[in-house]
Structure 1
Amino acid sequence: MRLLRPVSVLVSVAVVTVLALLSAAAPPRMLVFGMLALGPALAATSSNPSAVLLVGGYALATAFTISTWQGLLGTLDQFLRLVVVVTITVISWAVARHHRALARGQAGAAREREMLVAFAEQSADAIIVSRLDGVVTSWNGGAERLYGYTADEVIGSRFAKVIPPERRHALDQALAELADGRQIRLDETRRICRDGSERVVSVTVSPIRDELGNVVAAAATERDITDQKLAAERSARAARLESLGQLAGGVAHDFNNLLAIILNYADFLADEITPDGADDLARIRDAADRARSLTGQLLLFAKREPTEVEIVDLNDSITCSGELLSRSIGANIRMVCRTHSHPLPVRANRGRLDQILLNLVINARDAMPDGGVVVIETSRAGAQARLTVSDTGTGMTPEVRDRLFEPFFTTKPADRGTGLGLATVYGIVGDAGGTIGVDSTLGIGTTFEILLPLVSEPATAPAECLETGPAHGHGERIAVIEDEDYVRDLVIRILREHGYRTTALSEENLAASTLDDASLLITDIVLRGRPGPALADDLRDRHPGLRVLFMSGYSDAELRRRYDIGDATRIVQKPFTAVELLAAVDEALSTPPAVGSAPGSSAQPGPSP
Structure 2
Amino acid sequence: MRNLSVRFRLSVAILTLCAVTLVISGISLLMLRNAENWLETIHRDTLAEVSQALDISRNAADLATAAPFLLTVQMPFQRTADAQAILSTIDRLEALSSDTTDLALPLARMRVAIGRLLGLTEPQNALRADIAQVDIRLTQLQGRFTRQANAPDLAPVERLEWAALGQLTGTAREVARSQNIIEVGEFSRRYRQNRADIPRGAIVARGLAEVDAALNSPSGDLFQLQYGYLTAGLDAENALFRIRELSDTVNAYAAGRVEAAQDRLRQARAQTARNLDVAQMAVAILALLSAGVAVVSALFVSRYVTRNLRLIADGMHRLAQGDHAATLPDPGGPRDEIGRLFQAFGVFRANARNLERRTAQITRQNTLFASVFRNIQDGVAIVAPDGVIEAENDQVCALLHLPDDVRKAARTMPDRLAASAFAQACGGNDRGGFEEYTNPAGDVLEVRKSQLPDGRAVWLLSETTERKRIDERLAEIRRVETLGKVTGEVAHDFGNILSTISGNLHLLETTTPAKAPAHLGRIRTAVDLGVSLTERLVAFARKQHLAPEVVEIGSLIEGMVDLLDIALPDSVDLHLSLGDDPLHAMLDPGQLESAVLNVCMNAAQAIPGSGHIWITLRAENGHAVLSVRDDGHGMSEDTRRRAVEPFFSARRDGDGTGLGLPMVDGFVSQSGGTLDITSALGEGTEITIRFPLADGMPQLATAVHTGAALVVDDTPETARGLQQVLHGLGFEALMATRFAQAADIIADRPDLVLVVSDLNLDHGQSGLDLIRSVLAAGPGARAVLMSSRLPADPSVPPVDRDRLTLLAKPVTVDALTDAVARLLT
TM range (shorter): 0.3 to 0.5
Q: Flag the structure with higher helix content.
A: 2
TM-score, length basis structure 2:
0.28
Larger Cα-atom Rg: 2
TM-score, structure 1 length as denominator? 0.36
| More strand by percentage | 1
